[in-house]
Amino acid sequence: MENTASIGLCMKDEAESAVKEILKDYKGGRAIDKISSAEAPDRDAVIRVLHELFQVIYPGYYRDPNNKGRVYNVDAQISTVVDDIIINLQEQIEIALRYTNEFTGKERREVRAESQRITIQFIRTIPRIREYLDTDCQAILDGDPAAYSKSEIILSYPGMYAITVYRCAHELYRLHVPMIPRIMSEHAHSKTGVDIHPGATIGKYFMIDHATGVVVGETTIMGEHVKIYQGVTIGALSTRLGQKLHGKKRHPTIEDNVTIYSGASILGGQTIIGHDATIGGNCFITASVPPYTKVNVKNQEMVLGKGEEKPQKVEQKEDAAWFYVI
């Protein structure tokens, strides 16, 4: 018993010593040394705002998990949810604004007034967000033979979830809100495997099929009726210059009615994919493609053999490399 007590005291002393070392390490003045959580946006609060936005955007599909009963007054319910969004989002925007040079050192009332103005401006964009999302849902229904209804798409498709979050985050990005749009987009990334930077500009009737592994960079510009499949990267050609590239056009422009099949990478700020082009699976593109062009990788050889038999080459269809749908 004495041995156990002595080991316990020794562990307590060691733990206290370790805590002192950690607290001392906080005094380095680095970004990671920030102690007060009130000085940074609350990631969980931002995600709660997202959940409430889904209730407003899709009122018949998403509901407050704490409210298990029927809704007898939809107007009152939506009004309550919107009020909650305004209160919580305004608080997070006010905190985030303090990270910008423009509001460093400003009086709290000035920062609060600006955060309130931005929040109301954002709330007023919800009808436009819903207008775009209605077209996105239609594009998925039209383009995916496995989809049975818009309800199924809204409730279960990861691509639709990621696009919804993107549409909300993009409006906040356009209002120059720091950090919060990226918190939203990275939440969607973690849930769906789709990484759309909120700064990307994407037109109506946007479809992502299967979703996983899709990357769309910050300065990407996409037209309408763009369809992309899993594993597609719309990225920068090189990021070696790091922050020197900030604000530069680093990502491609994709014009209207373009289809990009799985595994394709399209890179570079000067790269333009012309309207009505089709980009085949696994293509690696760093130069512009004219309108109405089909781009595909040269077919790999398929070889079949059994036991001691001499392997036989199998001819694949000419379009097998680019026409790839699950």
Q: Enter the pTM of the model.
A: 0.84
Residue-range definition of the domain harbouring residue 311:
200-326
Q: What is the DSSP letter of 289?
A: B
Residue 2 lies in a domain: no
Query: Which pLDDT value is given to residue 307?
Result: 62
Query: Which pLDDT value is given to residue 103?
Result: 82
Query: Which pLDDT value is given to residue 228?
Result: 97
Residues 214, 162 within the same domain? no
Query: Which pLDDT value is given to residue 30?
Result: 83
Please state, in angstroms and rounded to a whole number, the distance separating the CA atoms of residues 99 and 106.
11
Residues 190, 214 within the same domain? no
The stretches in the chain having pLDDT less than 70 are 1-9, 35-38, 67-72, 239-245, 299-303, 305-326
Query: Which pLDDT value is given to residue 299?
Result: 67
Residues 314, 213 within the same domain? yes
Provide the token pair at 60: 């018949």
Query: Which pLDDT value is given to residue 323?
Result: 47
* 30-64 CB burial, b ≥16 within 10 A, e <16: eeeeeeeeeeebbeebbebbbebbbbbbbeeebbe
Residues 156, 78 within the same domain? yes
Q: Per the structure, how many domains does the chain have?
A: 2
Residues 323, 243 within the same domain? yes
Please state, in angstroms and rounded to a whole number, the distance separating the CA atoms of residues 82 and 1.
61
Nearest to 299 by CA among 320, 283, 284, 314: 320
Query: Which pLDDT value is given to residue 324?
Result: 46
Pick from 174, 195, 216: which residue ends a domain? 195
Query: Which pLDDT value is given to residue 326?
Result: 39
Residues 205, 190 within the same domain? no
Query: Which pLDDT value is given to residue 317?
Result: 58
Block residue for tokens 């070889």? 303
Query: Which pLDDT value is given to residue 34?
Result: 72
Residue 3 lies in a domain: no
Query: Which pLDDT value is given to residue 19?
Result: 85
Query: Which pLDDT value is given to residue 223?
Result: 98
314 three-state secondary structure: strand
What are the φ and ψ backbone dihedral angles of 222, each rounded to 5 degrees? -120, 140
Q: For all residues of the chain together, what is the average pLDDT? A: 87
